């Protein structure tokens, strides 16, 4: 069972200017408090739809899952409620262990409180910056036996190139271990522009380029672009 990282993953001297990709969330947390709105999701319904797709494509059941940029822990609570984790006879669909990694301290603290209040078992929240901390992928695989790396909405403030660089580090760790799954969603630039405009700080990626990026690394790739009217896409990659 994974326990909280022994060493602090970020320095107290780090500021939002050092991490511009986190500034929109830190700013929202300062202004609105650590809650749903500070995660900058479009809506709760849209968030639930994304979670349904992630769970279906990622095969999260009974696997060790690391949720990179977990926000206030909504995915863990969603899965717990879906599989009724508090009732042992229905807990088989929940991950073997859920590890939430969140870069905004206040949000991580809020996530821990929510998970505790919701009675979610086999879940832990840790503070970490998956963009800046290059050691994180191998640490999670080697010390926590992570089998699934998951990014939901947490790539939205990165450029497509920066997002690919982050994903490459996590995929390389999966390849080195010889096992595992990488699953991520992102805002698509093939969306209905009138219905869902691209508003800053959100960044949209070309789904064709993201699919090519994935296929260059493994033929075991799936992509879905058919939910939320093409507002975003989800890609899952499996190691051989």
Question: Does the residue 183 lie in any domain?
Answer: yes
Question: Does the residue 127 lie in any domain?
Answer: yes
Question: Does the residue 37 lie in any domain?
Answer: no
**pLDDT tens, residue order, the chain (240 aa):** 555 554 444 433 444 457 775 666 456 566 455 554 444 455 678 889 999 999 999 999 999 999 999 999 999 999 999 987 554 544 568 899 999 999 988 889 989 999 999 989 899 999 999 999 999 999 999 999 999 999 999 999 999 999 999 999 999 999 999 999 999 999 999 977 665 556 667 889 999 999 999 999 999 999 999 998 888 999 999 998
Question: Does the residue 136 lie in any domain?
Answer: yes
Q: What is the pTM of this model?
A: 0.85
Other Cβ atoms less than 10 A from the Cβ of 4: the count is: 10
Question: Does the residue 93 lie in any domain?
Answer: yes
**Phi/psi at 169 (nearest 5 deg)?**
-60, -45
Question: Does the residue 2 lie in any domain?
Answer: no
Please state the domain count of the chain. 1
* Closest of 113, 112, 185, 203 to residue 149, by C-alpha: 185
CATH number at residue 46: 3.40.50.150
Q: Which domain holds residue 128?
A: 42-238
Question: Does the residue 109 lie in any domain?
Answer: yes
Question: Does the residue 112 lie in any domain?
Answer: yes
């Amino acid at each position: 069972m994974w326990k909280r990282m022994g060493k602090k993953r970020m320095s107290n001297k780090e500021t939002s200017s050092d991490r511009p990709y986190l500034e929109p969330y830190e700013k929202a947390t300062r202004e609105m408090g650590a809650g749903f709105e500070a995660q900058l999701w479009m809506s709760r319904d849209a968030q639930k739809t994304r979670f349904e797709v992630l769970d279906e494509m990622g095969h999260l059941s009974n696997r060790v899952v690391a949720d990179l940029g977990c926000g206030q822990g909504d995915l863990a609570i969603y899965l717990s409620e879906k599989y009724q984790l508090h009732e042992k006879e229905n807990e088989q669909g929940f991950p073997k262990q859920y590890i939430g990694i969140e870069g905004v301290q206040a949000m991580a603290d809020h996530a821990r409180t929510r998970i505790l209040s919701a009675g979610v078992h086999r879940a832990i929240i840790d503070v970490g910056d998956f963009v800046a901390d290059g050691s994180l992928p191998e640490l999670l695989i080697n010390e926590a036996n992570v089998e699934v790396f998951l990014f939901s909405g947490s790539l939205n403030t990165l450029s497509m190139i920066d997002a690919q660089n982050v994903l490459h580090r996590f995929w390389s760790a999966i390849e080195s271990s010889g096992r595992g799954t990488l699953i991520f969603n992102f805002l698509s630039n093939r969306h209905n522009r009138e219905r869902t405009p691209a508003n800053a700080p959100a960044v949209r990626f070309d789904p064709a380029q993201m699919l090519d990026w994935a296929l260059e690394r493994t033929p075991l790739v799936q992509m879905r672009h058919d939910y939320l009217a093409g507002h975003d896409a989800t890609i899952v990659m499996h190691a051989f």
